[in-house]
Amino acid sequence: MTRAELIAQIQAKQSFLCIGLDTDISRIPAHLLSHDDPVFEFNKQIIDATHDLCVAYKPNIAFYESLGAKGWESLAKTMAYIPKEIFTIADAKRGDIGNTSRMYAKTFFETLDFDAVTVAPYMGVDSVMPFLEFEGKWVILLALTSNKGSQDFQLTQQEGGMPLYEKVMRKAQEWGTDSNLMYVVGATHPEKFTEIRRIAPAHFLLVPGVGAQGGTVEAVTQYGQNEDIGLLINSSRGIIYAGQGEDFAAQARIAAQQLQSQMAQQL
């Protein structure tokens, strides 16, 4: 998906919502467990209930690969079911060198046909470039994440006082452009968004941490949006596990509508 197509979806739906399909089989409503593929059935009903409210889905690959071959099958069926106009993100956080990264990229961009994949930058340029070589695909680079451990390395000061996440963001702009490179920036760091926009004024930001982790749409958009919005705000647990009964999909829709409504006010 191109940058222009993504922006058009945001404007058409009045939404920049990304829904994380972190589908944990231990949390799936019990009535689904009799299905041949309960993970896919759960995802299917979530997609049916929310596809008009979001512009992206983000399966967290760990929840699928932990189930072995059956999990990969569920993921492939989920990808085939997501409407083609919706941006898809493989939340895989891959990062290795040379041919290994190339095989990871082939897995997610060719075999599974995702639009984007999250990539860890710790090993440097030769771990990221194989992903950027795929035309029409996106790298979403981990920059300043929403978890508590982001304090351990990402915010540590480098020579000259530059925090490590800023060094990563600046260096990565030598590798990709705002048409194939995004950054992960957690909603739990709203005070950093003004500086981040000085570093990367035009790039899209994938923003986890809204909802269950305490971040808010208002704070993120106040400091993080640009003229194209430039944000994909993700909610996973807060939407897909909003309900635990047979009406779980209807409850997910209500939770998604609440966020989409907040986003529409910013557009």
Angle (nearest 5°) at CA 98 between 60 and 137: 50
Reading the block at residue 261, the tokens are 């409504």
Q: How many CA atoms lie within 13 A of 212 on its CB side?
A: 13
DSSP count for the chain of H helices, then E strands? 12, 8
125-132 vs 98-106: helix axis angle to the nearest 10? Answer: 30
d(Cα 120, Cα 240) in Å, to the nearest integer? 26
List C-alpha distances in Å: 98 to 101, 125, 132, 155, 177. 6, 10, 12, 28, 21
**CA–CA separation, 216 and 210 (whole Å):** 5
Give the catalytic positions in this structure. 93
Q: Please state, in angstroms and rounded to a whole number, the distance separating the CA atoms of residues 72 and 158.
A: 40
**Cα 101 to chain centroid, rounded:** 19
Listed residue (95, 88, 66, 81) closest to 20, CA to CA = 88
Distance CA(263)–CA(267), nearest Å, equals: 7
